[in-house]
Amino acid sequence: MEPARTGIGRQASPSSSGGREPTNLGDILERVLDRGVIIAGDIRVNLLDIELLTIKLRLIIASVDTAREMGIDWWEHDPWLSGKDRGLEEENRRLRDRVAELEEGGYPRSRHDDREIEEGRSGRRAVEGETEGRSGRRVVEGRVEEGRPRRRTAEGESEGRSRRRAVRGEVEREEDDRGR
Amino acid sequence: MAADPGAGTYLYAVAAEETAGREDALPRGGAGRESPLPRGVAGGEVRAIGRAGLVAYVSTVPLDQFGEEPLRRSMEDLDWLEETARAHHRVVEAVARETAVVPVRLVTVYSGDAQVGALLEERYDDFARALARVAGRQEWGVKVYAAPGEEPDEPEERRGRPAEAAARERIAGEEAPEAGARERAAGEEAPEPGKTPERPGTAYLKRRQRQIRGREEAWRRAGARAEDIHGALSSIAVASRRHRAQDPQLSGRPESMVLNGAYLVDRERGEEFARTVERLRGQGGDVQLTGPWAPYSFAVLDDEDGGPRGGDLR
C-alpha cells in the first residue's frame, strides 16, 4: 500500500504519554470528509466522485457502506484498485485502438475525444485547462505522475500503466497543441 | 451581497441564533471589527448569515478554486486538501466553542449568500432538530489498538476492511481467558518432553498451526476488549457510533485499530468520560482519546437517507 502513503498520519504524535493526542490530519479528514451533514450546495461536488489521488484516500476514509449507499461501487470493478485484471486487457486494447484511430483517423481530434479517452471506462477525470495546483504542481496527469511516481510502479501493473501512458501521451500532446 | 459571478459562498456550519446572537459571537464581517472567528478556507473572512432563527457561518470563496470543475482538481491535491480541511475544521471548532453547532460536509458551496439564507428557511426544522440533539454536548473520539502480538496473521488481506467487523466475526466464538498464556506458549519451540522428535516439516506445520490459533485468539481478545470499552463508554454517552477502523495510513500507527468510536457526551460529563477512558487503559493495547470535537459524527439531518451513518447507533 505504499502508493497512498501520503503522510496523512504524519502528525500523529507518539502516544506513549497515553494522554490526549493533538489533532492529527487523519482525524480531521475523517470528520470533514465523511461526517457532518450533507447538504446539496449549488456547486455540485460529490466527494465520492473525486478521482485519482483521493481514490485511495477516500477508500481509507469513507466507509464502504457510505459509498454503497450512494450507489458508488466502481472501485470493485476497477482493476487498479481491486487487483483484478479482468477486463483490463480488453479495455487496454479498446483504448489503444481508439488512440490509433484518432491519430490516424480523418477527423480532427477534439477536446471531447480526449475526454472520452481520458475518462475511459472508470470515469477518469477529463483533463481540462492547466490550472496550477498550489506549490506549482500542475494537476494534470503528466505532472501528477511526476509527483507520485511510486503509485503506479508500486502497483506493478504493467497493463494499466501502458494504458495510462497512452492516455498521457495524448494529454501531453494536447498541452503542446496549446502552445505551452 | 451582490452576487459576484467569480465568487461563491462556502458553508461551514449552522447554529441557532438564540445562542449565537451575542454581538461578539456573531461576526458580520463588517469593516473595522475584528472577527472572533479564524480565517476560513482560501483565507476568507468568516461571517454569519442569520435567517429564520438560524445562523450559517460562511465565507466567500473564489470559484476558480471552489467551482465544480476546479474542485475536482483541487481535491486531488493533498496539500490543498489539507489546508482546506484544516481551515474548515478550525472554523467549525471555533463556532462549536461558542454554541451548539451542526457541522457541514467539506466543500459545500453556494452561488451566493441569498441561497444560504434560503437554505436556512427551507430546512429550518431539520436544522433545529439536529441542533437540539447536540446542544450542550460534545463529541469524543476513542481509538483502541490491538496490542503487539494481537495482530491478525494476515494483515495484508484484512487491510481495507473494517478491523472491527473482522473482530466481531471472530467474537462469535466463546471467550478464551487463557488465550494469552497459550499465545505466549505458541511461540515456544521446545518439543514436549517424553515425545520422540518429529520430523522438521511436521514440527514446523504444527508450530505454525499453534501460532495461527494463538493469533486468532489474541485477535478475538482484542475485539472483545474493544466491545467492552465501547460498551462502558456508551453508557456514559447519550449516543455513540462505531466508525470504520482507521487504516494504518490514516492513523499513522502500525497496529490494527480495533475500535474507532465516537461518543456524544453531555458537556458536564466530559470529565467523567475522560476518567473512564483513563481507567480503561492498561488492559492491553493502546487507548487514545481525542476531543472534544464539534459533533461531526452526530450532526445528521433527518432526511439524509439512511439516517445515522457510518456506524451503529446504540
The more confident residue out of A20 and B262 is B262
Question: B159 touching A, CB under 8 A?
Answer: yes
3 state DSSP class of B13: strand
The whole-number average pLDDT for the span A123-134 is 34
- Per-residue pLDDT at A49: 53
How many domains in chain A?
Answer: 2
Q: How confident is the model at residue B65 (pLDDT cuts 50, 70, 90)?
A: very high
Name the percent of chain B lying above pLDDT 90: 49
Could you tell me if residue A78 is inside a domain?
no
Whole-number pLDDT of residue B247 = 75
Q: What is the pLDDT of residue B314?
A: 33
State the first-to-last Cα distance of chain B, in angstroms, to the nearest integer. Answer: 44
Measure A48 CA to nearest chain B CA, in Å. Answer: 11
Please answer yes or no on whether A42 and B110 come within 8 Å at the CB atom.
Answer: yes
A125 and A56 housed in the same domain: no
Per-residue model confidence (pLDDT) at position B301: 85
CA-based torsion, B159, B165, B168, B169: positive or negative: negative
- Counting one residue from chain A and one from chain B, the pairs whose CB atoms sit within 8 A come to 205
Tell the residue number behind the cell numbers 509527483, with chain if given. Answer: A147
Whether A130 contacts chain B with CB within 8 A: no
* A97 shares its domain with A169: yes
Residues A41, A106 within the same domain:
no
Point out the residue among A30, A43, A128 whose CB comes nearest to the CB of B246: A30
Mean pLDDT computed over A91-103: 73
Q: How far apart are CA A102 and CA A110, in angstroms?
A: 10
DSSP B145: E
B284 φ/ψ sector (left φ>0, alpha ψ -120 to 50, else beta): left
Q: What is the tens place of the pLDDT at every residue in A143-172?
A: 333 333 333 333 333 333 333 333 333 333
Query: Do the domain assignments include residue A149?
Result: yes
Q: A170 and A97 share a domain?
A: yes
Among residues of chain B, what percentage have pLDDT more than 70? Answer: 74
Q: What are the chain B neighbours of A17 within 8 Å (beta carbons)?
A: none
User: What is the 8-class DSSP label of residue B108?
Assistant: E
Residues 6 or more apart in contact with residue A138 via CB below 8 angstroms: A130, A131, A132, A144
Residues A119 and A167 in one domain: yes
**Helix H segments across chain B?**
17-20, 63-66, 68-74, 78-98, 113-122, 124-134, 155-158, 163-171, 179-187, 200-236, 248-251, 270-280
Most confident of A130-134, B68-72, B270-274, B282-286: B270-274
Give residue A62's pLDDT.
53
Q: How far is A175 from chain B (nearest CA, A)?
A: 17
Q: Is B276 on the interface with A (CB under 8 A)?
A: no
Query: How far is the alpha carbon of B143 from chain A, nearest alpha carbon, in Å?
Result: 11
One domain, residues A147 and A172: yes
Per-residue pLDDT reduced to its tens digit, A66-89: 544 444 444 444 444 444 444 555
pLDDT classification of B185: cutoffs 50, 70, 90: very low
In the predicted model, what is the mean pLDDT of chain B?
A: 79
Do A92 and A160 belong to one domain?
yes
Question: What is the spatial distance between Cα B290 and Cα B226, in angstroms, rounded to a whole number?
Answer: 16
Q: How confident is the model at residue B306 (pLDDT cuts 50, 70, 90)?
A: very low
pLDDT of residue B56: 97
Regarding whether A119 and A93 lie in a shared domain, the answer is yes
Q: Do B72 and A51 touch (CB under 8 A)?
A: yes
Burial A83-102 (b: 16+ CB within 10 A, else e): eeeeebeebbeebeebbeeb
Residue B169, C-alpha cell as written in the block:
466475526
Residue A62 in domain: yes
Domain that holds residue A165: 88-177
Q: Is residue A116 part of a domain?
A: yes
Domain boundary among A38, A72, A106: A72
Q: How far is CA B310 from CA A66, B85, B194, in A?
A: 7, 19, 55
Task: Quote the pTM value.
Answer: 0.61
A119 pLDDT exceeds 50? no
The residues, any chain, with a CB within 8 Å of residue B236's CB and separated by 6 or more, are: B263, B265, B269, B272, B273, B276
Please indicate whether residue B231 or residue B193 has the higher confidence score (pLDDT): B231
Interhelix angle B113-122/B124-134, rounded to 10 degrees, is 80
Range of lowest pLDDT (A27-31, A102-106, B4-8, B179-183):
B179-183
Whether residue A108 is found in the same domain as residue A167: yes
Query: In this complex, which of B66, B159, B290 lies closest to A1 when CB atoms are compared?
Result: B159
Better pLDDT: B261 or B168: B261
Put simply, whether A65 touches B (Cβ < 8 Å) is yes
Of A23, A39, A60, the CB nearest to B108: A39
Residue B223 confidence (pLDDT) above 70: yes
Confidence of residue A90 (pLDDT cuts 50, 70, 90): low
Cβ separation A18–B281 shorter than 8 A: yes
User: In terms of CA atoms, which chain B residue is nearest residue A52?
Assistant: B76
Q: Return the closest-CA partner of residue A57 out of B106, B108, B168.
A: B106
pLDDT number for residue A124: 35
d(CA B39, CA B32): 15
Q: Is A132 on the interface with B (CB under 8 A)?
A: no
Chain A positions touching B253 (Cβ under 8 A) are 9, 12, 15
Neighbours of B169 (CB within 10 A): 11
A82 located within any domain? no
Q: Residue B33, Cβ neighbours under 10 Å: how many?
A: 11
Q: What's the pLDDT score for residue B244?
A: 80
| pLDDT for B264 beyond 80 | yes
Average pLDDT over residues A107-135: 37
Residues of B in contact with A18 (CB under 8 A): 281, 286-287
Per-range mean pLDDT, top range of A72-86, B69-83, B235-249: B235-249
Which range of A115-124, B154-163, B185-194, B295-304 scores highest in mean pLDDT? It is B295-304
Q: What pLDDT, on a 0 to 100 scale, did the predictor assign at position B138?
A: 96
Where do the domains of chain B lie?
7-135, 141-174+214-298
* Alpha-carbon gap: B106 to the closest alpha carbon of chain A (Å): 5
**Cross-chain residue pair B111–A29, CB shorter than 8 Å:** no
Mean pLDDT confidence for A128-155: 33
* Bigger pLDDT: B243 vs B92: B92
Assess A64–B contact: CB distance below 8 Å, yes or no: yes
More confidently predicted of A16 and B74: B74
B292 preceded by a cis bond (ω within 30 of 0): yes
- pLDDT tens readout for residues B103-132: 998 999 999 999 999 999 999 999 999 999
Average pLDDT over residues B23-39: 55
**Cβ contact A26–B115 (<8 Å):** no
pLDDT grade, residue B63 (50/70/90)?
Answer: very high
